Chains A and B, each alone.
Chain A
């Protein structure tokens, strides 16, 4: 008798705990990348991101119809500067972007390929527009997953290459990059004409990020075709700036600011593997521990921290880091009963 009274008391205490739920009026847009045959493309799968109606992974107060995805990075030239640990899983395919992409999909389960046309750089191989288009077509033929295609970073060259890529891949519903504040018109125009999506990149500045979305939509490209890149910083190298901008953006979106409601992409692999801590050999820095593990964790930790800020597409390199991030996403997306 006494015991059951105790339980009752406990139960009434539990009943009195009220879960605080934020009522949000806005939500993150959804963006779809890729098109199947019925949709006018040749992809065997498509990827949709966004649709979140609450802070990242707070499933008890919102909906998360699409989980964050990882895009594996492929370059159009051998990335000599990459750390040996990152090159090793792709050692046999680094000089062939199509085979590289195929390996990412078949061996490592990539849902998206991020193809960087680095070889177009006038200071490197200086591939012609025609060569770049061929590389994109070869990758499209080699894999069935949707593609993200970005230029080499030289505005003048990218303005020649990307419209040609957009035209050659018309119907594939690519995600094209990158549109910046001072150079967005030609890529946005190409995306509009050939029905692709666009990455809007701003270097860690939410005000310019918002303004760039406005400028792009004023050209006529729908908000549902824009993904923003906040210019991520890696762990130890400015990640907290990115994190707070992501949070601010998410809060703005949830409060109804449509110009901040675009999903987010982040170049985690590039940023993480630029860090000294990811690359420094153990014999030079014994207190850092083993370089291979450290580098992989540097990439995985950068990804997981930014996931908490609300990124939707994570561009990554190392298969083991990707595994860790995927496991983390699966756990975060598991339904939580509150």
Chain B
């Protein structure tokens, strides 16, 4: 299970303030904390307030790379910003994300191939998130076909079936689980799957338990990675335990600790 730490994001107060003041310290501290907690990638998001996305995403990537060797997941809807940041990555990173819109695919897939980056493909288009698993899987198939056409290795394609908050879009969660199952049958080797885990609990007063429960259900359906709160220790413990039960990691009494030391 590939853990993508979500916390270097301008939406969070501390990081938002650091971005506004061009203060690298809080950003670097958060990066290190997530690395210690077991993150494999660090998501980098300027937040909506950054005036110059290109400059900000690049700067954030630079300062994070000063303190960690973890690969970065460039989380930005501004494609110019993503392209500029890709160029300065020390280790092959991840592009977050590409909707199932041909113009986006045509721009981002070649970039991913060129920089040996992974790319998150969203099972949606400009019209929004589909409701059924079938419609999500149709988008997934289109993204897989494009990966093949552009020579992007299927293992580098992370398909995101889009998890929505369970309090307002309750009927989506089970469709997401079914989409994950279907995605794993689309090609050989199969594309990888990813979700923005914290989305599922947005604006509910029970976030940790909802996140944990959904993470494990999604793993059982074939989830390979998630953008999540890696500082939530019980969540990471639950993920480590789910991996044991699925016989993905070899049991030992200290398995929770060992899981956090896993490299990818």
Contact = CB atoms under 8 A, between A and B. Distances in A.
B258 interface: yes
A214 B255 CA distance: 10
B245 to A, nearest CB: 14
A206 B252 CA distance: 8
Decide if the interface of chain B is mainly helix, strand, loop or mixed.
Answer: loop
Contacts of B251: 207, 210
A210 B252 contact: yes
Q: How large is the interface on A (under 10, 10 to 19, 20 to 34, 35 or more residues)?
A: 10 to 19
Contacts, number: 41
Nearest to A206: B250
Contacts of B250: 206-207, 210, 248-249, 252, 257, 260
A23 B253 CA distance: 29
A24 to B, nearest CB: 11
A252 B262 CA distance: 11
A316 B258 CA distance: 34
Interface in A228-283: 248-249, 252, 256-260
B254 interface: yes
Contact of A256 (B155, B252, B262): B262
A211 interface: yes
A25 interface: yes
Nearest to B253: A211
B257 interface: yes
Interface string A181-224: 00000000000000000000000001110110010000000000
Nearest to A208: B252
Contacts of A214: 252-254, 257-258
B258 A257 contact: yes
Given A207-B250, A207-B252, A248-B250, A26 B263 contact: yes
B249 interface: yes
B64 to A, nearest CB: 21
Contacts of A207: 250-253
A207 B250 CA distance: 7
Contacts of B264: 25, 256
A206 B251 CA distance: 8
Contacts of B257: 214
Given A210-B251, A214-B254, A257-B258, 7 more contacts: A26-B263, A211-B253, A214-B253, A214-B257, A249-B250, A256-B262, A258-B262
27 contacts: A23-B155, A25-B263, A25-B264, A26-B263, A207-B250, A207-B252, A207-B253, A208-B252, A210-B250, A210-B251, A210-B252, A210-B258, A211-B252, A214-B252, A214-B253, A214-B254, A252-B250, A256-B262, A256-B263, A256-B264, A257-B250, A257-B258, A257-B262, A258-B261, A258-B262, A258-B263, A259-B258
